[in-house]
Amino acid sequence: MRNSGEFPAQTNMTKCEHTTCVIFFLLCLLPLGLSQLSANQRVTMFKLSELLKDTTSSVWIVAQEPNPCGWKGVSCTSNNASITHLSLSDFSLTDSGFLPLVCEIGSLEALDLSNNRLSSIPDGFITACGKIGGLKLLSFSRNRLVGALPTFNGFIGLQFLDFSYNSLSGNIGLQLDGLNELRTLNLSSNQFSGHVPTHLGKSRVLEHLLLSKNFFHGGIPKVIFDYHKLVLIDLSNNQLSGSLPARIGDLSKLKILILSSNNLSGEIPTNLSNIRTLSRFAANENNFNGNIPNGISRFLKILDLSYNKLSGLIPSDLMMQPKLQRVDLSYNLLGGSIPANMSSSLVRLRLGSNSLSGVIPSAKLGTLLKLTYLELENNSLSGSIPPELGSCQSLALLNLAMNNLAGRLPLELGSLNRLQVLKLQSNKLTGEIPDQITQIQSLLVLNISENLLSGGIPSSIWRLKSLTNLNLGGNRLLGSIPPSISSFNSLLELQLGRNQLSGHIPRMPNSLQIALNLSHNLFEGPIPNTLSRLSSLEVWDLSNNKFSGEIPIFLTGFRSMTQLLLSNNQLSGVIPKFGHWVAVDTSGNPGLVNTTSHPISTRKSQYKMKSVGSSVAVAVAVGTASLALGITMAILIAVSRSRRHGRVKSN
Ligand SMILES: *[C@@H]1O[C@H](CO)[C@@H](O)[C@H](O)[C@H]1NC(C)=O
Ligand SMILES: *[C@@H]1O[C@H](CO)[C@@H](O)[C@H](O)[C@H]1NC(C)=O
Ligand SMILES: *[C@@H]1O[C@H](CO)[C@@H](O)[C@H](O)[C@H]1NC(C)=O
Ligand SMILES: *[C@@H]1O[C@H](CO)[C@@H](O)[C@H](O)[C@H]1NC(C)=O
Ligand SMILES: *[C@@H]1O[C@H](CO)[C@@H](O)[C@H](O)[C@H]1NC(C)=O
Ligand SMILES: *[C@@H]1O[C@H](CO)[C@@H](O)[C@H](O)[C@H]1NC(C)=O
Ligand SMILES: *[C@@H]1O[C@H](CO)[C@@H](O)[C@H](O)[C@H]1NC(C)=O
Ligand SMILES: *[C@@H]1O[C@H](CO)[C@@H](O)[C@H](O)[C@H]1NC(C)=O
Ligand SMILES: *[C@@H]1O[C@H](CO)[C@@H](O)[C@H](O)[C@H]1NC(C)=O
């Protein structure tokens, strides 16, 4: 009971229930045959279990396991003589009053307090635990700590310090300088400000430095490069400016360098390519400019320079380095053509939104058997789509949209049986849609809109059973929609606008949710009743056709509908009343009467209003009956939302 005054929770202990107290003292005094844990440590642990009994009572069942070495989160030496590791991770701790008590366990090597709700660290903790020479690991990650980083006096053996995911703030000056053994420092996801700390232990043995997601500003300090043992540096998501000093090349053990989401500028230093160990370099979302130096990817597996202002050509050796797996240079100002030499290790290649021109080089495509993501969209690439792409058997995402690609859609794409997303929109592709495209059974998204494709929609289109988004809009497609289209059962979006389609409109898949777009075609006759089944559909575009007859009353009963475009058709009769949540455009239909704006013969219009009103009621009743399906619907809508963002993740 030494130091009892130091612990605020002591009062709780004296108030403990009688029976608990009896057990407590019995256990402390009992000569426990099982355990050789020193009496001091046993007493400390029982005191701790009392202090924390509100949160640990379900995991530290003292009556069942008298030896603290058997408690959850406690590890002892192999002979149970002393406690070495204490993990109170995820114990729902809120009051840090118990912390100094923990430091009485002088044999502690690791103390893990992560995933709790602690908001402060008592001074007594730093003083007491600082004396434990063998303490190597201390983690307070994922708590609610506020205020300044404490100054670590003592802690001569501390190697691993994790304060990530808290709300600590202020500058970091000399607080950590005494930590001579520090190897890992993780301060990410806090609110630290000021300059990147440079006093990180006088003996400079730091290996992992993680400072991401703070408010550090100013330049990358050169002193950092005196920490020769650094293996990982993560400075991402701060407000750093200035350039990346060429002395980075001095860090001969560096494996991972992450500088993403800052305001760094200047050129990428050539000296990076001196680091033989460097496998990942990410400098995306900065203001780096100038040319990409030769040799930069010499030893890299992962290179991300996207969202910068890099210009000039892509170095001819950049993509051919044998270890290279992922390259992202998208959203820069790169010009010239795509280098032909590519490494067969490539898994992901993103060069979108640059100013690249010339043809898609086909020489090495046949060797890219691991290539899973190829994104070259929004450039000025010309020539045709190389048939050799059909050999890239791992492709899941192929995006060549928004270029000047011409010629036909190669049949060879039909053999890409892992392809999920095919985006070729906004090019100058001609010819018919080959039947072979409908062999890609894994396809979820097919977007070949805004091209010059002609002929009909292949009747074998039904074979693309998994399709969620089909966009054939803005082409020169003729003929009618194949009736087999009704057999899609995952299709959420069907875009057929701006073609020359005509004839009968077949039954549409009930799964449609995002949009049905038949606009700017040659459809005529009444709006078919089969559309009344599309109760989940949000956007309806039937505009700019020759639809005639009345606006079907079923259209007013859809609660998912947000937009209905009927403009420029030959519809007639009275416009029924739609819910206020629907944006309706009926302009350009000379035969339509808007009763709201023309309240003419009262009797007739009252009668009409009534009939309209009752059909709305019927439609709503039908809707209510299907409320049982509400949960399913909610899931489907959630799915539709996530699918809209594409299933193939961009990392
Ligand atoms: C250490 O204590 C645990 C928990 O009581 C027990 O299961 C284990 O057998 C003990 N080991 C030794 C060597 O006494
Ligand atoms: C902090 O960084 C270290 C070193 O990379 C890592 O082991 C630890 O898991 C990180 N902490 C959290 C909460 O992710
Ligand atoms: C860059 O690397 C070269 C060797 O490749 C070396 O001579 C030069 O001093 C380095 N520059 C800096 C600033 O470290
Ligand atoms: C980023 O740095 C540039 C100079 O390189 C400066 O003009 C700009 O204001 C900075 N932006 C922010 C958000 O700090
Ligand atoms: C591609 O790389 C090989 C081997 O490094 C080399 O011989 C060839 O000249 C390179 N081709 C081009 C077009 O750079
Ligand atoms: C296309 O690239 C330009 C830069 O070249 C960029 O400004 C624009 O946002 C990109 N468009 C899309 C749709 O990504
Ligand atoms: C398909 O391409 C059009 C441009 O023609 C674009 O607006 C639309 O977002 C694309 N949809 C998908 C799912 O890629
Ligand atoms: C329907 O498709 C046409 C042609 O692609 C497009 O211009 C129009 O914006 C689309 N309608 C809606 C509501 O998105
Ligand atoms: C009918 O006219 C009223 C009043 O001018 C207007 O608010 C409403 O939007 C019109 N309805 C349609 C479907 O155009």
Amino acid found at 636? L
Does some domain include residue 50?
yes
Q: Is residue 191 part of a domain?
A: no
Rounded to the nearest angstrom, the distance between the alpha carbon of 339 and the centre of ligand 5 is 10
Ranking 303-307, 474-478, 565-569, 632-636 by mean pLDDT, the lowest is: 632-636
Q: How far is the CA of 110 from the centre of ligand 2 (A)?
A: 15
**Does a structural domain hold residue 419?**
no
Lowest mean pLDDT among 35-44, 113-122, 411-420, 493-502: 35-44
Ligand nearest to the CA of 341: 5
* pLDDT of amino acid 597: 60
Nearest ligand to residue 264 Cα: 4
CA torsion, points 109, 114, 117, 119, in degrees to nearest 10?
Answer: 60
Q: Which residues contact 364 (CB under 8 A, 6 or more apart)?
A: 340, 341, 342, 344
User: Does residue 120 have a pLDDT over 50?
Assistant: yes
Q: Kindly give the number of the ligand 4 atom that is closest to the alpha carbon of 265.
A: 5
Q: Point out the ligand 2 atom lying closest to the alpha carbon of residue 234.
A: 5
Q: What angle do CA 213, 216, 221 make, to 5 degrees?
A: 120
In a domain, 19, yes or no: yes
Span 569-598, average pLDDT: 90
Residue 354 lies in a domain: no
Q: What is the rounded distance in angstroms from the CA atom of residue 633 to the CA atom of residue 641? A: 12
Residue 587 Cβ < 6 Å to ligand 9: no
Q: Whose C-alpha lies nearest to ligand 5, atom 9?
A: 341
**CB-based contact 192:169 (threshold 8 Å):** yes
Measure 497 CA to ligand 8 centroid, in angstroms: 6
- Report the side by side order of strands in the sheet with 570-574: 524-526, 546-549, 570-574, 591-593
From the list 121, 152, 140, the residue with the least C-alpha distance to 189 is 140
The closest alpha carbon to 337, from 361, 317, 320, belongs to 361
* H helical segments located in 524-599: none
**Residue 417 neighbours by CB distance under 10 Å:** 12
Ligand 5 lined by 363 (C-beta under 6 Å): no
Q: Give nearest CA residue, ligand 2 atom 1.
A: 186
The Cα–Cα gap between 362 and 410 comes to 13
Ligand 8 within 6 A of 539 CB? Answer: yes
- Split into its structural domains, the chain has a count of 1
Q: Which two tokens stand for residue 110?
A: 């690791």
User: Taking the C-alpha atoms of 284, 289, 292 and 293 in order, what is their torsion angle to the nearest 10 degrees?
Assistant: -120
Query: First and final CA of the chain: distance in angstroms?
Result: 55
Within a domain: 318 = no
For every residue of 382-434, DSSP letters joined together read ESB--GGGGG-TT-SEEE--SS--EEPPPGGGGG-TT--EEE--SSEE-SB--
Tokens of 360: 């898609």
Report the candidate in 253, 256, 250, 255 with the shortest Cα–Cα distance to residue 235: 256
Query: Cβ–Cβ contacts within 10 Å for residue 565, how many?
Result: 21
Task: Decide if 475 contacts 451 (C-beta within 8 A).
Answer: yes
- DSSP class of residue 531 equals G
Give me the pLDDT at residue 633, please: 39
Over residues 590-635, the pLDDT tens digits come to: 999 887 665 444 433 333 333 333 333 333 333 333 333 333 334 3
pLDDT in tens, 268-284: 999 999 999 999 999 99
Question: How much distance in Å is there from the Cα of 35 to the middle of ligand 2?
Answer: 34
Rounded CA separation 578/620 (Å)? 12
Give the residue among 350, 312, 318 at the shortest CA–CA distance from 333. 312
Angstrom distance (rounded) from CA 609 to CA 611: 6
Q: Which residue has the tokens 């559909």?
A: 537
Q: How far apart are CA 242 and CA 220, in angstroms?
A: 7
Locate the ligand 4 atom nearest the alpha carbon of residue 217 and give its number.
14
Span 538-547, pLDDT tens digits: 999 999 999 9
For residues 323 and 486, give the distance between their C-alpha atoms in angstroms, rounded to a whole number: 47
Using one digit for the tens of pLDDT, what is the confidence trace for 197-240?
999 998 999 999 999 999 999 999 999 999 999 999 999 999 99
Q: How long a stretch of residues is the chain?
A: 651
Residue located nearest, by CA, to atom 4 of ligand 9: 597
**Is the residue at 35 inside a domain?**
yes
Residue 28 is part of which domain span? Answer: 4-77
Burial class of residue 418, CB neighbours in 10 A (0-12, 13-18, 19+): middle
How far away, in angstroms, is 341 Cα from ligand 5 center?
6
Residue 69 lies in a domain: yes
Distance CA 257, CA 211 (A): 12
Task: Please give the Cα distance from 623 to 610 (Å, whole number).
Answer: 20
Atom 4 in ligand 6: residue holding the nearest Cα:
353
Q: Is residue 176's pLDDT more than 90?
A: yes
Q: What is the pLDDT of residues 308-355, one digit of tens each?
A: 999 999 999 999 999 999 999 999 999 999 999 999 999 999 999 999
Bigger pLDDT: 363 vs 571: 571
Residue 9's pLDDT is: 37
Closest ligand to Cα 70:
1
Average pLDDT, the chain: 88
Using the atom order of ligand 4, give the atom closest to the CA of residue 287. 5
In one-letter notation, the amino acid at residue 614 is S
- Is the CB of residue 596 below 6 angstroms from any atom belonging to ligand 9? yes
Predicted confidence at residue 314, as pLDDT, reads 98
Q: CB-based burial of residue 20 (10 Å sphere; 0-12 exposed, 13-18 middle, 19+ buried)?
A: middle
Amino acid identity for residue 223 in this structure? V
Helix (H, G, I), strand (E, B) or coil at 358: strand
The pLDDT value given to residue 65 = 82
Among residues 456, 575, 470, the alpha carbon closest in space to that of 516 is found at 470
